[in-house]
Chain A
Amino acid sequence: MPRRRQPSDIEVPLTPMLDVAFQLLTFFILTFKPAPLELQFDLNLLPSEPQTQPEPEPPPEESPSDEPPAIRSFQVTLLSDPGGNLAGIELEELRFDSVSALRTKLEDLLQNPDYAFDQALIRSQPDLHWEHLVEVLNVFSELGLTKVNFTETR
């Protein structure tokens, strides 16, 4: 005659598992440091020596020609003070005191259909802090100018 099994009452001790889980949780909470959101600029830089030799030409104000507009390059020079701060920006023969002034001028230039800018060459003085060059890159990026190269000037 088979023995009848008695109903078993198995209790799994959850307390040790909970202890470990709480310790792990404490570790993660204490070491948690949310990283700021990083973004990226994609750049396809030209070779070391600048290939562009832009020669500024005034936009044709009269007698619109049938020829396609010339593809030209912005040449921007960033000037720095001894502390590495931005002291001025030169766009060809123009000079600006701030990035916002440069942006306004670039917006005007890019609205002119006679200009066809497709790239920019940023020349920077050696001491300038990297953040100021990124500011200018940011302006070009916002205006849709993504072909950018940079070089150093004395």
Chain B
Amino acid sequence: MARPVLHDVKYQPDLTPLLDVVFQLMTFFIMVSNFNQEVYDQRVRLPVAGSARPIVDATEDKLVLNIDPEGRLLFNNQALGTEQAIKEIRYQADLARLNADAAGVPISAGEPLPTTIILRADRETPFTEVFALVRACQDVGFTRFDLRALSGPAL
């Protein structure tokens, strides 16, 4: 008995829906990726505080201070000791004043700076180390502070 002749069948699956799904997944992952990892250092384990309010990232003029458990300031991929950190804070204050001058709104020496300090200190950092940097900020004119904490236990 003769076998049926198989014709040359060209099977072409429709890849468009698959591509749509893949692009949607990619869009999701791109949007939820944290591209600010250098600023918001993941090495800093923040303390937990349930009553803090959600972050309103309205201000663009901000200076993020990541402080590790030894009290070093993690800044520009460097771990700065207290003295270096204080120098950096003074430098940032000078920059803020220069920027204000350039924008036509000069800030005199005694006036508070408009920059908000985002304080991200590790939960095990001794208070004295954090306080030294906070006081350095206050001494050069920073008055606005945002302390960062987690809503629940760290993952």
Contact = CB atoms under 8 A, between A and B. Distances in A.
Nearest to A127: B126
Given A21-B23, A24-B26, A37-B150, A44 B143 contact: yes
Contacts of B151: 36-39
| Interchain residue pairs A-B with the least CB separation, the first 6 | A28-B29, A39-B52, A126-B128, A131-B47, A131-B123, A138-B49
B88 interface: no
Interface residues of A, number: 49
Interface of A: 11, 14-15, 17-18, 21-22, 24-25, 28-29, 31-45, 47-48, 78, 80, 84, 124-131, 133-135, 137-138, 141-142, 150-152
A38 B147 contact: no
A39 B150 CA distance: 6
A78 B128 CA distance: 13
B42 A35 contact: yes
Interface string B27-70: 00110111000001010001111111111100000000000000
Contacts, number: 158
Contacts of B30: 28
- Among B46, B47, B124, the one with the most A-chain Cβ atoms within 10 Å of its Cβ is B47
Nearest to A150: B131
A130 B127 contact: yes
- Among A28, A38, A45, the one with the most B-chain Cβ atoms within 10 Å of its Cβ is A38
Contacts of B127: 78, 80, 124-130, 133, 152
A43 B154 contact: no
Contacts of A15: 15
